Amino acid sequence: MIPTLSEALAERGFDTLTEVQQAVTAAELAEADLLVSAQTGSGKTVGFGLAIAPTLMGDEVRLGLPGAPLALIVAPTRELALQVQRELAWLYARAGARVVSCIGGMDAREERRALERGAHIVVGTPGRLRDHITRGSLDLSAIRAVVLDEADEMLDLGFREDLEFMLGEAPAERRTLMFSATVSPAIADLAKAYQRDAVRVTTLSRGTQHTDIAYQVVQVAAADSDHAIINLLRFHDAPTAIVFANTRAAVARLAARLANRGLPVVSLSGELSQDERSHALQALRDGRARVCVATDVAARGIDLPNLDLVIHADLPTNTEALLHRSGRTGRAGRKGISALIVPDRVTAKATRLLKWAKIEAEWTAAPSREEILALDETRLLADPVWEDAPSEAEAAFSARLLAEHGPEQIAAACLRLYRAGLSAPEELNAAPARTERAERAPFGPSAWFELSIGQNRRAEARWILPLLCRAGDLDKTQIGRIRILPETTLVEIAEPAAPGLIDRLGPAGILEEDITARQVEGTVEDMRPPRPAPGQGRPPRKEASAPRPPRKAPAPVSAAPRPVRAAAEAPKPVAAAPRPAAPPAAPARATDDAKPRKPRHAAPKGDGSRAATRGTGPKGAPTGDRAGSRSQHGPKRMDRPGPKAGRAKDDAAPSKPRNPTQKWDAARPKSDTRGPERAERKEETGSARTRPGASDTSKRMDRPATGARRTWKGKPKGGDTPPRRTR
């Protein structure tokens, strides 16, 4: 080992190296690419710092002047990157190394200036490192070693593209070291693509758990999860504890809850700024805070001093998360406790999680209030302060206390003052007892019944069971096995309940509608179809009673082209429906007889066919035939002629009635053209006429003339017809 590094280790109190540190510093692996998997807290950071030292320094004792970086260390989170920077800074301090960090949330201009001044080792997160490489601030041309710390976590967070970019920009002759607690197939694929004959180094003991971590499963009632966390923190009284939650909202809620109970707590989640996260971690290291509530990603890889307790407020999503969470404690030979808070509804999930992780845990209950108060008294008596000799001022005050108060009163006040600085323990409900599932007694003696339904009618046990209980007046304990066959279903019924079922079914054996049941002899093994012997294959399918009719051939499609209408051949205009004759007009006044009434718009000169022959549309439809347009698309509310073309006058159309009372009858045909349903409804109700505009808005404004719309104000002259609506 290089002397300067050995001196740094001795200064830090390292007498011996850990197992993973010894494995990666072996002489035969000095120039090889490594894929290392080791337990959390086993000293991987110092391990890869020692592993890359021969590559960076060679035979030299100190590094040269800082310039282009020689090593690149990539970490998934900001906290882990800063932690790695601190570890490598003291490890390479005597070698004259300059370690620069590039992490998100920090001032990029300061980092750029630090890189311009030169560095030996650069530590950072994937996003910020790629940004500096893209902008030209970070030069990888002199890189000799690249280390990916917690590589599996970086892939889980979606940094694969960034990692591949950085590995592609680094020189091909570099060393690549990947460190991770678990090696997933994605890690193996990445190592195969970017490492050269990587040597797999593992210190994990297959099938055994971390010996320095004691796992506990704390069973609580559903409403006592937070109370159990408070009691656990009070009971263990760890110098530093961390509580894991799955979401940011849960972290904020738990941190507020613990702070309200008087516990010195900080939170750590992705929604905090980098300054807030740094202050939170510094408070834990200084002892100003003793509890940290964090999410999985935010606390990944962090190393807190004297962290003896890990509490899982929410169950981890997988075994890897469980191992990484628990790995925050039990580091560097220290003992720790990992406690899982398990409400009764997730007991089965916790059991499966521990089984898949191959962890043996102790199932226990949360500490009660009485246990915590008794432990407070024990800790008070065991406090070293009782062994210190009192000073003169303390002796004088003690004499004054004894003169004014009795010994019992002084002792009680001392206990109350001690507990006043602690959080009050919580009252807990009785936790559900964890009992092993009793084995079911063998069912029998029994009788078998055959139902007339099977797989061909989608029979299922989930509705056959309640059907039998309801129709046969049975209890579910009287029903045994249910075997669904292709055409029938076999049900096992307790022998004492069989006669009652037969009586309720009757002679016809009707269970419900078209489902019948009958008792059969024998067992279910006798009624099953025989299985084919090994090597014989499946039995031939039964032949159908009647041959299947042949499938009808599809109708032939005619290939003849559709006839196209000649462009010159214009369709005949559709004549307008003749308007009905107007009823006899009311007697006119004498003033009207002397002066005949003229139509508001005169018809254009000619034979009236000009509008029908003005031209054709894109599909041959006459564009000028307003009568045909009206008959095809329904009546229009207002038919006005164009600006130049007039409207042909129909000789058969009646003249405009003089009396407004008869205007509606003249404007609308007597035959109902609004559909058969409307006509039948009018015949049933016996209504001879409908108020204009009440139901069909398309016929509200039909008038024989096309002049400007007239608005009636007040009662019209010559009739009692109500006026139209004024727009």
Sheet holding 479-484, edge to edge: 479-484, 489-494, 446-451, 515-520, 510-512
SS3 645: coil
Any idea what DSSP says for residue 608? S
For 592, list phi and psi in degrees, rounded to 5.
-75, -30
Residues with Cβ < 8 Å from 446, sequence gap 6 or more?
480, 492, 493, 494, 495
Domain assignment of residue 677, yes or no = no
Output the pLDDT for position 690: 47
How distant, in Å, are the alpha carbons of 224, 482, 497 from that of 494?
44, 13, 5
Helix axis angle for 160-169 and 185-194, nearest 10°, is 20
Question: Is cis: bond before 407, omega within 30 of 0?
Answer: no
CB 329 within 8 A of CB 307: yes
Any idea what DSSP says for residue 374? H
**Cβ neighbours around 652 below 10 Å, total:** 8
143: its two tokens: 């890189």
CB 175 within 8 A of CB 145: yes
d(CA 727, CA 407): 101
Only one residue has tokens 């462009």, namely: 567
Domain of 508? 446-524
174 and 30 both lie in a single domain: yes
pLDDT(521) > 90: no
174 and 307 both lie in a single domain: no
How buried is 416 (Cβ within 10 angstroms: 0-12 exposed, 13-18 middle, 19+ buried)?
Answer: exposed
228 and 359 both lie in a single domain: yes
CB 328 within 8 A of CB 242: yes
Output the pLDDT for position 620: 46
Domain assignment of residue 664, yes or no = no
User: Domain ends where: 489, 524, 559?
Assistant: 524
SS3 18: coil
452 and 495 both lie in a single domain: yes
Beta-sheet strands, E only, within 538-682: none
**Cβ neighbours around 441 below 10 Å, total:** 6
Output the pLDDT for position 727: 52
Output the pLDDT for position 612: 40
Domain assignment of residue 494, yes or no = yes
Only one residue has tokens 């002892």, namely: 287
Output the pLDDT for position 535: 55
Query: How would residue 559 be classed by pLDDT, with cut points 50, 70 and 90?
Result: very low
Output the pLDDT for position 646: 44
Pairing of strands 489-494, 479-484: antiparallel
Output the pLDDT for position 523: 64
pLDDT(694) > 60: no
Element (H, E) at 213: strand 213-220
What DSSP assignment string belongs to 69-110? Answer: -SEEEE-SSHHHHHHHHHHHHHHTTTTT--EEEE-TTS-HHH
CATH number at residue 40: 3.40.50.300
User: Domain ends where: 366, 391, 408?
Assistant: 366
268: its two tokens: 């750590």
139 and 258 both lie in a single domain: no
Query: How would residue 232 be classed by pLDDT, with cut points 50, 70 and 90?
Result: very high
- Look at 118 and 42; give whichever has higher pLDDT: 118
Residue 206 CA, chain-centre distance (Å), reads 33
66: its two tokens: 């800082």
Output the pLDDT for position 129: 94
Query: How would residue 583 be classed by pLDDT, with cut points 50, 70 and 90?
Result: low
The count of structural domains within the chain is: 3
CB 120 within 8 A of CB 63: yes
Give the pTM: 0.54
SS3 654: coil
pLDDT tens digits, one per residue of 390-446: 888 888 998 888 888 888 899 899 888 888 888 888 888 876 565 566 666 778 788
Domain assignment of residue 498, yes or no = yes
Beta bridge pairs of residue 267: 293
d(CA 95, CA 107): 28
176 and 222 both lie in a single domain: no
CB 77 within 8 A of CB 123: no
168 and 263 both lie in a single domain: no
Domain assignment of residue 558, yes or no = no
Pairing of strands 71-74, 145-149: parallel
d(CA 479, CA 468): 9
Residue 340's nearest CA partner among 309, 298, 294, 384 is 309
pLDDT(689) > 60: no
User: Domain ends where: 346, 366, 386?
Assistant: 366
pLDDT tens digits, one per residue of 315-366: 998 888 888 888 888 776 678 899 999 998 899 999 999 998 888 899 999 9
132 and 183 both lie in a single domain: yes
pLDDT(241) > 60: yes
pLDDT(650) > 60: no
CATH number at residue 464: 3.30.70.330
179 and 233 both lie in a single domain: no
Output the pLDDT for position 679: 45
SS3 298: coil
Output the pLDDT for position 655: 52
SS3 140: coil
Q: What percent of the chain is predicted at pLDDT more than 90?
A: 23
Query: What is the 3-class SS of 697-708, one letter each residue?
Result: HHHCCCCCCCCC
- Look at 142 and 640; give whichever has higher pLDDT: 142
Beta bridge pairs of residue 35: 178, 200
Domain assignment of residue 421, yes or no = no
Any idea what DSSP says for residue 344? G
Residue 57's nearest CA partner among 45, 71, 43, 38 is 71
628: its two tokens: 């045909």
For 390, list phi and psi in degrees, rounded to 5.
-75, 150
Report the range of poorest mean pLDDT among 47-56, 101-110, 343-352, 621-630: 621-630
Beta bridge pairs of residue 340: 217, 312
219 and 196 both lie in a single domain: no
Domain assignment of residue 669, yes or no = no
Residue 705's nearest CA partner among 649, 652, 628, 661 is 649
167 and 196 both lie in a single domain: yes
Residue 276 CA, chain-centre distance (Å), reads 28
Beta bridge pairs of residue 362: 216
Domain assignment of residue 340, yes or no = yes
260 and 119 both lie in a single domain: no
Output the pLDDT for position 303: 72
Output the pLDDT for position 302: 73
